[in-house]
Amino acid sequence: MERKYPNLCNPIKIGNVWFRNRMFSAPMGGTDITADGCIGRGSTAFYELRAKGGAGAVTVSECMVHPETDGSHAYHLDLKVPGSLASFTYTADAIRRHGAIPSLELSHSGQFAGTYMTDKDKKNTLCQYGVSTSVRADGMEIRELTKDQIQEIVAAYGEVAGNAKRAGFEMLMIHGGHGWLVNQFLSPYFNHRTDEYGGSLENRVRFAKEVIASVRNAVGIGFPIEFRMSGSELFEGGYTLEDGIEIAKQIEDSIDLLHVSAGTYQRGFGITHPSMFEEHGRNVYLAAEIKKHVKVPVAAIGGLNDPAQMEEIIASGQADVVEMARALLADHQLPDKIMRNEEDKIIKCLRCFTCMAERAVTSTRRCTVNPLIGRELDGMEIIPARKKKKVLIAGAGPGGLQAAITAARRGHQVIVCEKTDGPGGILKSEQAIPFKHEMYELGNTLERMAKEEGVEIRYGTEVDKLYAERETPDALIIACGSSPVIPPIEGIDQDQVIMVNQYYLKKDQVSDTVVVLGGGLAGCECAIHLAQEGRTVHLVEMRSELAPDANVRHRPLLLEKISDYVTVHTGLKGIKVTEDGILCEDSDGRESLVPGKTVICAAGQRANRKAVDELRDSAPYVAVIGDCVKPSTITTAVYQGHHAALDI
């Protein structure tokens, strides 16, 4: 067959190992870690999923090589711990048996040990070791590693590398970026040593070279070593791209693949992991520039999920390999779909940070658009139903469509009814906001997938009690969504007022000055978009804080954009819409006018409970999912839809 993306699909030899394509699964923290640092069964299934989806390599993250100086709750490959070697062996085997090359990321957090611990009090009791004596931004004192400790850590890299090879891993990644210990040595911001490990760039690279040599000595010539580095630290005081080029030149003879990322977790999280406010591939330029100066193959990363863009990166010589993390959470089959020329069926990452927020809050992993993530042992295999049933689904939002896909894959006859003229439900409104366009695309992609599974979709059709009784379904899944909350404010029904969910239909009616009423997630994101278009935007919120419904990873980036673009008024209640804006009242009863010729109302959503109550007895099996239970997230709708279909 002729492949649409021949460069992405082309095999590559790195060291003495052949990889089936140029699409690698970058390190992602697993879903369960035992108390003594072993890989749990859930994590083995988590990594196996990406191997089954066609990735050329799957890298397990993160194995901390020296627990004595790095107290992070992460993986430890230690022969002294019963089950440790076995857990890594089973994981490597689970990846390899599907044709992907298993890789393990070797790491040390340095002064940021415990970053991923959910128990922050316990994290603060850890003894933090770093390249130099200092005080962290959070007040934690950092102890400088002694030379003896440095040599212990260097030796530990080699010891763990040898164990990883013994376990069946066929490539190793040394994590030298993102502010972790190797990066701390490389960085003039972190490294203030006066011995042979500090000062000049040559001295600052010394630790990285010793680590690489230790790993090479353990695994031998031809065994692929991938070195992950930040092409630039991207903040004042850190090293620049020019420094990154010199670092790369000093280590290239000792490695087999140079993985160029960007920034640090601690300073510029939304750049290291490009947020929805950044361009896709926004860090590829670093890899492309470094590649001009080295002979070793180079991998690029940074919010990549579009096949055409990734193909161009390889074809134009900007990189030899593309690596993805979140994109392969959203759709673990992305590489296989590209190999099969089925790119129109890729479910794209929304860059919403649900995956990373869950990691920080609950120590689990979940993806907004992929209901298998974190539940790989609970339903990765969709088992055909013993008896084929007729399933009626009310609503073609993301939850309803996911339910339809899962039910159809189980062999049921599935009918989806949607009262509007197209798929996506509330996600239709995102088509007018460029940085949220992939949320709009999700509805269309799920529709295509549902139709391919044989689902019948009836648009312009609302399911009421009579309709349901006439169809006589064996199972009814109610996914009828929510409706906008319209606050009881004088003038709220005037023409200059637009509900936020209707903005995409009325965007040409928006004036140059806008008041957004409601500072939740939807209101904040709409305000940012309008301001980025050049409008003067005021945001009014009754509460003292904005976007409490945003997750812990997305919210800081959102608030940063609000600060850059929008004038915020918290603690104000709207009492009247006028032709000049919204008259507001504070807690002391003082009135003020917030100016704007257009008002965007983003006061929240209310579950469509009336429809639920009417339909709840319309079939032997009835499930209620998504926003009609209570307004929530795409994540909730997709997970509930998938499992409602499994329960039929």
Please tell me whether residues 412 and 451 are part of one structural domain. yes
Q: Is residue 619 part of a domain?
A: yes
Which positions ≥6 away from 194 have C-beta within 8 Å? none
Sheet arrangement for strand 598-601:
497-499, 598-601, 513-517, 536-541, 567-570
Q: Which residue has the tokens 């990322």?
A: 261
Residues 226, 116 share a domain: yes
CB 51 within 8 A of CB 94: yes
Picking from 377, 393, 422, the residue at the C-terminal end of a domain is: 377
Within-domain flag for 491: no
Chunk the chain into consecutive blocks of 10 residues (it has 648) and report each block's average pLDDT, rounded to whole numbers. Answer: 97 98 95 89 96 98 93 87 95 98 97 69 71 89 96 98 98 97 97 97 98 98 98 96 98 98 89 96 98 98 97 98 98 98 97 92 90 85 92 98 98 98 96 97 97 98 97 98 96 96 96 98 98 98 96 96 98 96 95 97 96 96 97 96 96
Residue type, 17: V
Q: Are residues 276 and 338 in the same domain?
A: yes
Query: Is residue 507 assigned to a domain?
Result: yes
Give how far the C-alpha of residue 227 lies from the chain's centroid of Cα atoms, to the nearest Å.
22
Domain closes at, from 343, 377, 411? 377
| Whether residues 360 and 451 fall in one domain | no
Q: Are residues 328 and 451 in the same domain?
A: no
In this structure, the answer to whether residues 599 and 611 fall within a common structural domain is: no
Three-state secondary-structure class, residue 490: strand
Q: Give the HSE-up count for residue 541: Cα atoms under 13 Å, Cβ half-sphere.
A: 21
Residue 455 Cα distances to 118, 390, 402, 417, angstroms: 42, 11, 11, 11
Do residues 643 and 403 lie in contact, with contact meaning Cβ atoms separated by under 8 Å?
Answer: no
Q: Cα–Cα distance between 448 and 590 in angstroms, integer? A: 53
250 found inside a domain: yes
In Å, how far from its chain's centre is CA 178? 16
> Residue 489 falls within a domain, yes or no?
no
Q: What's residue 136's pLDDT? A: 86
Q: What was the pLDDT predicted at 266?
A: 77
Number of structural domains (the chain) is 3
Q: Are residues 515 and 388 in the same domain?
A: no
Residue-range definition of the domain harbouring residue 564: 497-603
Q: Do 509 and 471 reside in the same domain of the chain?
A: no
Please check whether residues 241 and 341 belong to one and the same domain.
yes
In a domain, 492, yes or no: no
Question: Could you tell me if 562 and 512 lie in one domain?
Answer: yes
DSSP 44-71: HHHHHHHHHTT-SEEEEEEEES-TTT--
Q: Does residue 633 sit in the same domain as residue 506? A: no
592 plus 448 within the same structural domain: no
Structural domain includes residue 490: no
H helix intervals, 343-488? 354-362, 398-409, 437-452, 465-471
Is residue 554 in a domain? yes
Domain end marker among 360, 377, 394: 377
CA distances to 42, 202, 329, 362, 532 from 366, in Å: 12, 42, 8, 10, 31
pTM value is 0.95
Q: Domain of 438: which CATH number?
A: 3.40.50.720
pLDDT of residue 140: 85
Residue 91's CATH number: 3.20.20.70
Q: Does residue 247 contact residue 229 with C-beta atoms inside 8 Å?
A: yes
